[in-house]
Amino acid sequence: MKGIPEHHLSRMPDNTAMKQQNLPAYQLRFSATVVLSIFFGTGVFCLCMGVILILSVKSTKKIEINYTKICSNCAQLRENAFNFDKECICSIPFYLPEKMEGNVYMYYKLSGFYQNLYRYIQSRSNNQLVGEALRDVEDCAPFKVSHHGTPIVPCGAIANSMFNDTIILSYKLNSSMHITVPMLKNGLTWWTDKYVKFQNPSFNNFSSKFAGSTKPPYWPKPIYDLDRNNVENNGFLNDDFIVWMRTAAFPTFKKLYRRLYRIHYFTEGLPAGNYSFNISYNFPVTRFHGEKSVVLSTLTWCGGGGFFLGVAYTVTGALTWLASFALMAVHLMWKKKKIAYQKKSYALRRKTENRNGQ
Amino acid sequence: MDRMEARNPLVPVKVPGMLHEERESKCEPQRSEGKSSVGVAQVRRGPFHPGGNVRRCAGYRTAGRFLCYCRTQQAGFWYLSQGTESGMVEKYLNPAVRAEHIPSAMALSCGCENCLLGGGTTPHSPLCWRTPRRFWKISGEQDFSCGSGLTVNRMPSELDKKSKKQRQSLLEKVKVKSGRETGSAEKTRENIYIRVLRRGAGSHPSHIVKRTRFWTQNEARIGSRHQRAELELLPREEKKYVSRFWKEIHVGDFVRLRCNEIVPADILLLSSSDPDGLCHIETANLDGETNLKRRQVVRGFSDLVSEFNPLTFTSVIECEKPNNDLTRFRGCITHSSGEKAGLRTENLLLRGCTVRNTEAVAGIVVYAGHETKALLNNSGPRYKRSQLERQMNVDVLWCVLLLLCMSLFSAIGHGLWVRRHQEKKALFAVPESDGSSSSPVTAAVYSFLTMIIVLQVLIPISLYVSIEIVKVCQVYFINQDLDLYDEETDSRLQCRALNITEDLGQIQYIFSDKTGTLTENKMVFRRCTVSGVEYSHDANAQRLARYQEADSEEEEMAPQRGSWSRRGSTGSHQSVRVVHRTQSTKSHRHSGSRAEAKWASVLSRHTAFSSPMEKDVTPDPQLLEKVRECGRCLAMARHQEQPLGRLSPELSDIFDFFVALTVCNTVVVTSPDQPRQKVRVRFELKSPVKTIEDFLRRFTPSRLASVSSSTGSLATAKCSHKSGSGFLSSLSSDSTFLKLQERLGQPAPSVSSNGYSSQAESWAPEHKPEPEQCQDAELRYEAESPDEAALVYAARAYSCVLVDRLPDQVSVELPHLGRLSFELLHTLGFDATRKRMSVVIRHPLTGEISVYTKGADSALMDLLLPCSSEDARGRHQKRIRSKTQRFLNLYALQGLRTLCIAKRVLSKEEYACWLQGHLAAESALDNREELLFQSALRLETDLHLLGATGIEDRLQDGVPETISKLRQAGLHIWVLTGDKQETAVNIAHACRLLGHDEEIITLNAESQEACAALLEQSLQYARSRAPCSTPEKTEGNIPVGFFPLCSASKPATTAASGPSLSLVVDGRSLAYALEKNLEDKFLFLAKQCRSVLCCRSTPLQKSMVVKLVRSKLKAMTLAIGDGANDVSMIQVADVGVGISGQEGMQAVMASDVAVPKFRYLERLLIVHGHWCYSRLANMVLYFFYKNTMFVGLLFWFQFFCGFSASAMIDQWYLIFFNLLFSSLPQLVTGVLDKDVPAGTLLAEPQLYRSGQKMEESWPRAFWLNMVDAAFQSLVCFFIPYLAYYDSDVDMFTWGTPVTAIALLTFLLHLGIETKTWTWLNWTACGFSVLLFLMVALIYNSACAACYPPSNPYWTMQTLLRDPVFYLTCLIAPVTALLPRLFFKALQGSLFPTQLQLGHQLTKKCCETLKTPKETFAQGHLSGESQTELSQGSPANPSECLARDCASQASQHTQQPPACSPEASGKPSAVDTSVPLRENSLLGPLGPSTPGEAVSGECPGHLQRTPLGPGQAAPLSLFSLPSFGSLGWVSSLSAVSGLGSILRFSRSNLHVAKRDGKLLPGPPQPEQALSGSQRPATDS
């Protein structure tokens, strides 16, 4: 009987930490210390970050001019589609009170323009844009082919609705002297967009590349005429086109249009003074109550965005501090109450005990 | 001639369709030739109207041929049963009717032969007729016709040959297919071959299986398993059994089975190799019982002189419809002679049983396939859905609703938006392909549908998968828990149901069986009274006490056994010592006597009820002396050929008493060397009296002269009508026996200890002591109930040894008398209504016919011979009776199970008279049970009381502790037992189910009205809760000895708090109370009571009670039991727990969880149940949160995209997000998280209540959770929105940070919810983030022009260079989680306030009460459980203990100071003085505690360290070393997180207090007993 071999206990579970759920574990408990330190720590961090962000955003300069109304005559002209070939140039003078240092970027800003519609964002052909198959217009409905059956290049709703105002910034050097501020058309896009995602088809003759295709219905000129001066900026590789094709997330958005070419007067940025935008008004927005603006802005390390992030950090930090103080207060109050209650209940209990004892 | 072959091709028709076609094509030409019958043509051509009464036709078309099977209501031909379920009817339709042999309609209506043997196709589809028969039928060998009543069957010879060839080839196929080896015995169901002798079609008119009388010679088949290969070659005339698959067995087949084969269908036993016509079967597959059961050959066949020959079988069998009653089978067989014989359960071999101890049996199949009782019983388990899942499903519906709302909202929004922009011809508007812009309505509809798809993440499909995974892991962990492993039986807890683990954490009511569940079900013979004299068996008691001591020693060694782990814990500083201790404990176990017993029981596990403790009985010397004297007298009388009348009444009573103990049972004697080898010692061959002629033959005066002792004289005289073998065996009986003894091996040293063997030698020198001892040691008794075995073992201790039992005789070895063979005339088995069993035997010495009856005292005492007080004998009897009654009460008070033994001597005439009635009853077809019952009643009257026995059923280890723990956990425990009230109440007291200061309401009502009145009164009483006036109505009914206990407790119960009530109901009252009109009252009363005890309840009542509570109180119920009688209750309860104990496996098989012992329930529920529930509940909530929050992000975006259903999150991220990125951490948490450590849970069972209350708090928790999710999604959406507002960000470059933010928020949220962080959690979280990053990086660099519309080339890479990305990813999760964290912290300090105060309060009380448990509990809770522990700064000893408890079980007792040095040694940050003071207090107290601990009160006894009033200090906030000890926390954050608040209930305190006082309780009855015992023994 004694010599029972151990294997009789064959069903004995293994005594391992895993199987016995005894893995060494750190117990995360929200004790007062932990909670309060978390709150205070977070608060300090957020406040610091908030201050830093606000300060850095403050250093940026930004000027935004809404030209929807200013150029209302042009807008009215554009409301009628028959006037599509009539040129309308609108000049908007403005005064730049402070010098804009560093890299200055020019954006156009649209509001009320929904680039994120479900069917809108799908209406594009990446294969076409990458220069591989011009005839691949499958995804581009309803802007796939022209009446003649030739494929639209670039096809799709996104390309069709491309922003086509021309904005020229001119600097009033003095009362009579206007010079055009030199702007760069390149470097507006992501590098990968320009060199990977968008490629012109490889043919010898540039315009023959796009032979047998039709321009999008809303476009005044075909794709290979976007920038005749610069082959690198023409066709699918046109920076404005690429920028437009990156569909904006929200109905109000701005897109990079030009960046300052820092030469001559503008090596340090835009000097203060009188400027004017000369806008060739082509893009109709009033039909859908949209608005157009042009924005000049500088950037910092955290982008040119508004104060929101800084404010968010600050507010969160402040809230965290508030919360921790509230917790502390509750804690202290509760302690007092508890002790009082304790005494009372103890006395009560003693009484009952005594009664029971008798 | 060949037809039969064709009919039974040795083909497993696994894919009937395929085979068909194969043959179909081959046989096509022949078939047309073979079909000249009109009927067939009819069938083929069109609708079939034989009697104009067609109900349904089933058609079957193969290769242009249409087979039609029709059923008509009473057609002359297509007879089909009426009222049968259509499914059945379909099955009965047998396409393969051998109509040419069967001119009558009856024959054609086939039996169940086609009923899908082992198949799984639906009965309605024509394909279900997939027996081999259709096979040949279709091949054209045979046809059937319908309508005309004529069948023409043509079998062209060439076809026959061809089919033969085909069969041959198929045969080869089969061989290959199943991979069988010829001659090897396969055990698997599919492959096993049985010898089948097929006969003609069984007929089956209206659920009576009738054997047709005609069958053809050529249907007898040839071959056997080993001859399968030459099967086809053997001439058909040889008529042998052939091997068949199980599924080919049809009703009406003859089947021959050999030893150890599994019965393939329900078979009527027609022949057995056993000369007695017996067959032993083991029903382990059916009910888990391993003892041998006996089956008998049908009467009429057992007397066959020659071997059973199926070829000459001409009887008709009628039996009842297939049903699922395993214990009932009725029918009758009509022999060709017109003689009828009844069929009983004893004649039926049920499918699934194993033939044992019998060389070969043959029988005819009565039910096959799905109609077998075993399969009909197999209704499949009730699908249990956990409560959590049910709640979850409701929430899922809410989610669906939410989804619809969101989609609808979005659709309307989009419609409006489209309408606004419609006329504008906006540049961005995408027109339809025809140039027109879509109408707002169409756009809205499309948007709605798109939204549903986009937002479908909200429906947590993956939740179900995750839940399954988590549950599987939980079950795995439960199964693996070392603390739930029982070393004694080498069994561990098994979770058999996967889907209800979390229900374990919500149980509110426990329904427990008593016997075998609370008790060990090891029946130990304790004492007996014979002829009014009590034999107290003190030595026996001492022996039992020794076992107990061994137990308690062990308990000392491991006081926390069953509660905490016995093994070393890895993290403990004591681990080295721990391991050492564990080993020493083990070695102790090995050496101790108890350990031996355990090992023995492990060894002998396959024989039930034979642990040494049960086997060894130390005889009472006084009684032993009397037995010897009695034996001596009888021996003398026999030698002197004197009648036995010379024995004194007392001695003769004693003699009869032991004879009754030995004989009056159904114990089977086996020898352990060949465990299933019946010990056959035959002295003569006789069967129980079966007929009157038999009786007359046997009981002629001449026979009486021959005393059937040990020689075969009678046998030789009688053997004329018996078979030769019997004759031989009877002749050589003595020698056989001697041989047997030799064969049984070396006389091993007697295991039956305690002096029995030495005594045996001393008093029986004239017998061969050695073989006898050997015999005693070796013989093993297999009993159906442990009581029987206990009694037989007890008789053996008095050297009345049951040597052999045959159906017709029982051989008993008696002192001085040697071996006596009692002729067993009848056995009236035990049943629950009679509560007794009887045997009718013929006494070998006197030849008189006596009835020995054994049964419950309540059943027997009324049946005694009324004794007149006139004559001395009558007075004596009366005195005996009253004395016995007194002892019986005494036994019951002690918690012993009592049995009365009585005897009746029948005169021959009486017997003949009774026999006549009995035989009539036996052969009756209708109402047989009732008649048999009446017959038994006639026999069991006018009994002469011999004595009574008291059998002890010991409480299992740790039952009282477990019960009190479960009580504290807020569980109501009801005990439902079949035992008698006194015993049950006593056991209830012993296991502290009933406190001694509790008021007990007893419901013993005789009628419905009385019951109603009683209930009303009790209710009023319970409502009023007036100072204890024990309910007057109970007084009359309260049994003696039990009442004083209650009244004694009266003063205590007048306390202000009031006593708790308990309810005791007996079976009859329960039946009344469960009536529709009373059940509400009963339930209301029961709800008021702390515990409810239902005695004398039947299995059905048990299940009804459970059902009642479950349905009316909407409570979660758990039923625990070990026996077959608990099965129904187990199945009905929400959670069924089976105890894999002594009494078979039936309960275990029906259960969801099987535990080795009752005490494991504590850990199972309190620890694992709580864990499972909290884990799963948290996970489910988290899942909902996660999905809602994620969907929220998408939804908010709709406001910015004109509700056009576009998603800023890339499609692939959408798909992978739930699947990959965020799934693993929550799974890990769901599997591993422990909100409260096991030690704390065990120490504070109150924590369990959180699970019970969760139900109410669930909706609130859910909606809070959803609101939080909505808030978080708002934050996580608008922070990036505003951060990127007015920038040139594109849609998917903005969507990616949102995804990242969501992921981080989820992980942080999970981090807040996770209580224990193991490396697995860290890994999983890290893995999630890394996986997201990697996938995003790879995906975003994979293809420049792919994945429209997002086309995310280089997005992630660009973002990673953007500081705004990091800034938003930082601030958004923090802001999103801030409120949650804040409220959690606030809740931790505000809500647990009450909890804390409650514990403060109880701590104070416990100081005075000195109830260690409570102190411990508060220590834990106030000390905020393990927080400080993990931080290494114990604030008070309880924490240090808690850690110890959690890590190491048994150390506290031995090393009380062990934890205090540690406590003091720990650096305390702010104020070390408090802990130090505590330690100084603890020090001196330490050594005193072990003593208390031995009482087994509380594992955490150390905590009892009184904390002075000044000790409140550790709880004040900032003076503490640990800031958090004040309970900032959420020590129960799972609980609080779900919004439920744990409250400390005052009642627990009372419980504990009472428990404390209860300790000295149990001796009380002992004293009472010893008091009353003395006068008894004196007299």
**pLDDT tens, position by position, B896-918:** 778 888 888 888 888 888 888 88
- CB spacing of A254 vs B1286 below 8 angstroms: yes
Write out the DSSP string of A46-103.
HHHHHHHHHHHHHT--EEEEE-TTTTHHHHHHHHSGGGGGS--EEEEEEEE-S-EES-
Write out the DSSP string of B1217-1280.
IIIIITHHHHHHHHHH--SS-HHHHHH-GGGGHHHHHHHHHHHHHHHHHHHHHHHHHHHHHHHH
Q: What's residue B832's pLDDT?
A: 64
For residue B1020, pLDDT over 90 is answered with: no
- What confidence tier does B166 reach under pLDDT thresholds 50, 70, 90? very low
For residue B155, pLDDT over 70 is answered with: no
- Nearest CA to CA, how far is A300 from chain B (Å)? 11
Q: B1381, A35 in Cβ contact below 8 A? A: yes
Q: Is B1512 an 8 Å CB contact of chain A? A: yes
Six token digits for residue A94: 């403005």
Q: What is the arrangement of strands in the sheet containing A89-96, beginning at the earlier edge strand?
A: A89-96, A273-280, A166-172, A178-180
| Among candidates A20, A34, A332 on the partner chain, residue whose Cβ is nearest the Cβ of B480 | A20
Which three-class secondary structure state does DSSP give residue B1088?
helix
- What confidence tier does B1057 reach under pLDDT thresholds 50, 70, 90? very low
| Among candidates A22, A115, A346 on the partner chain, residue whose Cβ is nearest the Cβ of B569 | A22
**Residue A106: closest C-alpha in chain B:** B1288
Quick one: which of A123, A98, A97, A82 has its CA closest to A247? A123
Q: What is the arrangement of strands in the sheet containing A183-184, beginning at the earlier edge strand?
A: A62-66, A291-298, A104-111, A253-260, A183-184
- Nearest CA to CA, how far is B582 from chain A (Å)? 13
Query: Mind listing the pLDDT tens digit for each residue in B500-513?
Result: 888 888 898 999 98
Query: Mind listing the pLDDT tens digit for each residue in B1433-1460?
Result: 333 333 333 333 333 433 333 333 333 3
- What confidence tier does B778 reach under pLDDT thresholds 50, 70, 90? low
* Residue B552 vs residue B927, higher pLDDT: B927
Chain B residues 1392-1451 within an 8 A CB cutoff of chain A: 1393, 1396-1397, 1400-1401, 1404-1405, 1408-1409, 1424-1427, 1429-1430
For residue B1245, pLDDT over 70 is answered with: yes
Query: Mind listing the pLDDT tens digit for each residue in B1273-1288?
Result: 999 999 999 999 888 8
**B79 Cβ neighbours under 8 A, 6+ residues apart:** B105, B106, B108, B109, B205
- CB spacing of B487 vs A284 below 8 angstroms: no
Q: What's residue A135's pLDDT?
A: 82
**At what angle are helices B1099-1112 and B1079-1088 packed, to 10 degrees?**
80
- What confidence tier does B82 reach under pLDDT thresholds 50, 70, 90? very low
Q: How far apart are CA B133 and CA B1309, in angstroms?
A: 66
Least confident span in B219-228, B234-243, B1221-1230, B1565-1574 = B219-228
Dihedral pair phi/psi, residue B607, rounded to 5°? -110, 120
Q: Which amino acid is at A146?
A: S
Indicate the DSSP class of residue A152: B
Q: B1059, B1000 in Cβ contact below 8 A? A: no
- What confidence tier does B1550 reach under pLDDT thresholds 50, 70, 90? very low
- CB spacing of A309 vs B1368 below 8 angstroms: yes
Q: How far apart are CA B1472 and CA B1519, in angstroms?
A: 9
**Which CA distances in Å does B290 have to A9, B349, B358, B701, B1150?**
21, 16, 16, 43, 17
- What confidence tier does A228 reach under pLDDT thresholds 50, 70, 90? confident
- Nearest CA to CA, how far is B1290 from chain A (Å)? 4
Buried b (16+ CB within 10 A) or exposed e, B316-330: bbbbbebeeebeebb
Indicate the DSSP class of residue B437: P
Catalytic position from the list B160, B253, B276, B513: B513
Which three-class secondary structure state does DSSP give residue B1518?
coil
Q: Which of A113, A121, A147, A285 to mutate to test the interface with B (most CBs of B within 10 A)?
A: A121
Query: Mind listing the pLDDT tens digit for each residue in A258-292?
Result: 999 998 888 988 898 999 999 998 888 888 888 99
- CB spacing of A17 vs B1388 below 8 angstroms: no
Q: What's residue B874's pLDDT?
A: 79
- What confidence tier does B606 reach under pLDDT thresholds 50, 70, 90? very low
| Among candidates B1353, B1358, B1389 on the partner chain, residue whose Cβ is nearest the Cβ of A196 | B1353
Q: What's residue B939's pLDDT?
A: 85
- Which residues in chain A touch residue B1055, judged by CB atoms under 8 angstroms apart? 356
Quick one: which of B819, B822, B827 has its CA closest to B843? B822
Mean pLDDT of chain A: 84
Six token digits for residue B335: 């022999």
* Residue B287 vs residue B1432, higher pLDDT: B287
- CB spacing of A28 vs B1314 below 8 angstroms: yes
Q: How far apart are CA B924 and CA B933, in angstroms?
A: 12
Neighbours of A3 (CB within 10 A): 6
Q: Is B527 an 8 Å CB contact of chain A? A: no
Q: What's residue B412's pLDDT?
A: 94
User: If you count residue pairs, one on A and one on B, with CB atoms under 8 Å apart, how many are there?
Assistant: 366
Mean pLDDT to the nearest integer, B546-572: 44
Q: Which of A117, A346, A356 to mutate to test the interface with B (most CBs of B within 10 A)?
A: A117
Does residue B1152 carry a catalytic annotation?
no
For residue B402, pLDDT over 90 is answered with: yes
Mean pLDDT of chain B: 65
Q: What's residue B664's pLDDT?
A: 85
- Nearest CA to CA, how far is A345 from chain B (Å)? 6
**Residue A332: closest C-alpha in chain B:** B1517
- CB spacing of A250 vs B1285 below 8 angstroms: yes
- Which residues in chain A touch residue B1362, judged by CB atoms under 8 angstroms apart? 303
Quick one: which of B692, B707, B961 has its CA closest to B822? B707
Buried b (16+ CB within 10 A) or exposed e, B1040-1072: ebbbebbeebeebbebeeebbbbbbbbbbbbbb
Quick one: which of A87, A30, A29 has its CA closest to A327? A30
- Which residues in chain A touch residue B1353, judged by CB atoms under 8 angstroms apart? 192-193, 196-197
| Among candidates B432, B481, B1315 on the partner chain, residue whose Cβ is nearest the Cβ of A13 | B481
Q: What's residue A4's pLDDT?
A: 40
- CB spacing of A246 vs B1529 below 8 angstroms: no
For chain A, the distance separating the N- and C-terminal CA atoms, rounded to the nearest angstrom, is 57
Q: What's residue B407's pLDDT?
A: 94
Dihedral pair phi/psi, residue A8, rounded to 5°? -70, -25
Query: Mind listing the pLDDT tens digit for each residue in B941-992?
Result: 888 888 888 888 778 888 888 988 898 888 889 998 877 777 788 788 888 8
Chain B residues 1331-1370 within an 8 A CB cutoff of chain A: 1344-1346, 1348-1349, 1351, 1353-1354, 1358, 1362-1364, 1367-1368, 1370
Q: What's residue B1190's pLDDT?
A: 93
Mean pLDDT to the nearest integer, B791-805: 84
Query: Mind listing the pLDDT tens digit for each residue in A178-226?
Result: 889 999 998 899 999 899 888 888 766 677 777 788 888 888 888 888 8
Q: What's residue B527's pLDDT?
A: 82
> Sign of dihedral through CA atoms B1035, B1040, B1045, B1048?
positive
Q: How far apart are CA B155 and CA B863, in angstroms?
A: 70
Which three-class secondary structure state does DSSP give residue A155?
coil
Indicate the DSSP class of residue B1289: -
For residue A143, pLDDT over 80 is answered with: yes
**Which CA distances in Å does B651 have to B533, B632, B1509?**
11, 11, 71
| Among candidates A24, A304, A313 on the partner chain, residue whose Cβ is nearest the Cβ of B571 | A24
* Residue B1303 vs residue B741, higher pLDDT: B1303
**Which CA distances in Å does B253 have to B89, B170, B1121, B1327?**
20, 23, 40, 64
Q: What's residue B374's pLDDT?
A: 77
Place of tokens 């009366």: B878
Least confident span in B187-201, B637-651, B781-795 = B187-201
- Which residues in chain B touch residue A252, judged by CB atoms under 8 angstroms apart? 1285-1286
| Among candidates B1425, B1426, B1517 on the partner chain, residue whose Cβ is nearest the Cβ of A335 | B1517
| Among candidates B491, B1291, B1515 on the partner chain, residue whose Cβ is nearest the Cβ of A116 | B1291
Tell me how far the alpha carbon of residue B1046 is from its chain's centroid.
Answer: 36
Q: How far apart are CA B173 and CA A205, in angstroms?
A: 73
Q: What's residue B86's pLDDT?
A: 32
Mean pLDDT to the nearest integer, B605-631: 69
- Which residues in chain A touch residue B1400, judged by CB atoms under 8 angstroms apart? 338, 342, 345
- What confidence tier does B488 reach under pLDDT thresholds 50, 70, 90? confident
Q: B363, B268 in Cβ contact below 8 A? A: yes
Six token digits for residue B328: 């009932």
- CB spacing of B1364 vs A302 below 8 angstroms: yes
Query: Mind listing the pLDDT tens digit for each residue in B836-855?
Result: 888 888 887 777 888 888 88
Which of A20-24, B455-459, B515-519, B1336-1340 has the highest average model confidence (pLDDT)?
Answer: B1336-1340
- CB spacing of A339 vs B1055 below 8 angstroms: no
Six token digits for residue B589: 């176990």
- CB spacing of A118 vs B1201 below 8 angstroms: yes
Query: Mind listing the pLDDT tens digit for each residue in A61-100?
Result: 889 999 988 888 888 888 777 777 788 888 999 999 988 8
Beta-carbon-side half-sphere exposure of residue B1530 (alpha carbons within 13 Å): 26
For residue B619, pLDDT over 60 is answered with: yes
- Which residues in chain B touch residue A19, judged by CB atoms under 8 angstroms apart? 477, 480
Pairing relationship of beta strands B1117-1121 and B509-512 according to DSSP bridges: parallel
Q: Is B311 an 8 Å CB contact of chain A? A: no
Quick one: which of B1535, B806, B791 has its CA closest to B1170? B1535
**At what angle are helices A308-357 and B1249-1284 packed, to 10 degrees?**
170
- Which residues in chain B touch residue A11, judged by CB atoms under 8 angstroms apart? 485, 490-492
Q: A98, A269 in Cβ contact below 8 A? A: no
- Nearest CA to CA, how far is A205 from chain B (Å)? 25
Quick one: which of B776, B770, B827, B836 has its CA closest to B802? B776
For residue B225, pLDDT over 70 is answered with: no
Which of B333-337, B707-711, B768-772 has the highest average model confidence (pLDDT)?
Answer: B333-337
- What confidence tier does B642 reach under pLDDT thresholds 50, 70, 90? low
- CB spacing of A116 vs B1234 below 8 angstroms: no
| DSSP-assigned beta bridge partners for residue A300 | A303
Pairing relationship of beta strands B1117-1121 and B1135-1139 according to DSSP bridges: parallel
For residue B19, pLDDT over 60 is answered with: no
Q: How far apart are CA B1129 and CA B1119, in angstroms?
A: 6
Return left, alpha or beta for B521; rule: phi > 0 is left, psi -120 to 50 is alpha, else beta: left
Q: Which of B474, B1274, B1288, B1515 to mutate to test the interface with A (most CBs of A within 10 A)?
A: B1288
Mean pLDDT to the nearest integer, B1310-1326: 90
Tell me how far the alpha carbon of residue B808 is from its chain's centroid.
Answer: 36
Q: How far apart are CA A87 and CA A90, in angstroms?
A: 10
Q: B359, B377 in Cβ contact below 8 A? A: no
Q: B1452, B1433 in Cβ contact below 8 A? A: no
**At what angle are helices B1546-1558 and B959-968 packed, to 10 degrees?**
160
Query: Mind listing the pLDDT tens digit for each residue in B1327-1342?
Result: 999 999 999 999 999 8
Q: What's residue B929's pLDDT?
A: 76
Q: What's residue B405's pLDDT?
A: 94
Write out the DSSP string of B789-825.
HHHHHHHHHTT-EEEEE-SSEEEEEETTTEEEEEEEE
Least confident span in A96-110, B278-292, B450-464 = B278-292
Which of A137-141, B290-294, B703-707 has the highest average model confidence (pLDDT)?
Answer: A137-141
- Which residues in chain B touch residue A249, judged by CB atoms under 8 angstroms apart? 1200, 1208, 1284, 1289-1291, 1293-1295
- CB spacing of A31 vs B1430 below 8 angstroms: no
Place of tokens 């499903």: B393
- CB spacing of A126 vs B1348 below 8 angstroms: yes
Q: What's residue B732's pLDDT?
A: 37
Mean pLDDT to the nearest integer, B17-24: 34
Six token digits for residue B123: 């009965």
Q: Which of B430, B470, B484 to mutate to test the interface with A (most CBs of A within 10 A)?
A: B430
**Residue B1345: closest C-alpha in chain A:** A126
